[in-house]
Amino acid sequence: MVCVLLIEDEDRVQRLVSWILAEFEYEVVVAETPKEAAEKLGDEIKPSIIVVNTDKTEKDKGRLIEALRSLCPGVKIIDFAIQANSPKRDTGADAYLSKPFSADELIELIDRLKGESD
């Protein structure tokens, strides 16, 4: 089973994305903060995909993604905190998903990234 680490501090989004991923038989581990994610990466899990949704600035999010890659080399990272009407930022993620997004869009993106790492 493919493990997805979801870094999300908004409870409603956390529940929705977790439910979508579970419906498609992904193992989901949730962290509310980057610190909690780092602790889980160090102790518990080796995800194939990390989904990052935080309110950090582009520069801070870039540092966060860099730190996640150092803790989990080879991981694929999705940044879906970008609003559809915002200019695209380069945070160093492998893929970007604008909100709002559909379950199909999320699963297709994860499947594509999973295929790239196989």
pLDDT single digits (tens) 31-61: 998 889 988 887 668 899 999 987 665 568 8
Q: Is the peptide bond before 47 cis (omega within 30 degrees of 0)?
A: no
pTM: 0.87
- Model pLDDT for residues 59-72, shown as the tens digit of each residue: 688 888 999 999 99
Measure the CA–CA gap between 73 and 60, rounded to whole angstroms: 19
Query: Average pLDDT of 68-80?
Result: 91
Strands 27-31 and 3-8: parallel
Where residue 16 sits, what CATH number does that domain have?
A: 3.40.50.2300
Which pair of structure tokens corresponds to residue 13?
């989004």
The count of domains in the chain is 1
Measure the CA–CA gap between 47 and 88, rounded to whole angstroms: 25
81: confidence class by pLDDT, cuts 50, 70, 90: low
State the residue range of the domain holding 77.
Answer: 3-117
What pLDDT sits at residue 117? 67
Q: Which residues contact 108 (CB under 8 A, 6 or more apart)?
A: none
Question: Could you give the dihedral angle defined by the CA atoms of residues 52, 88, 63 and 44, in that order, rounded to the nearest 10 degrees?
Answer: 20
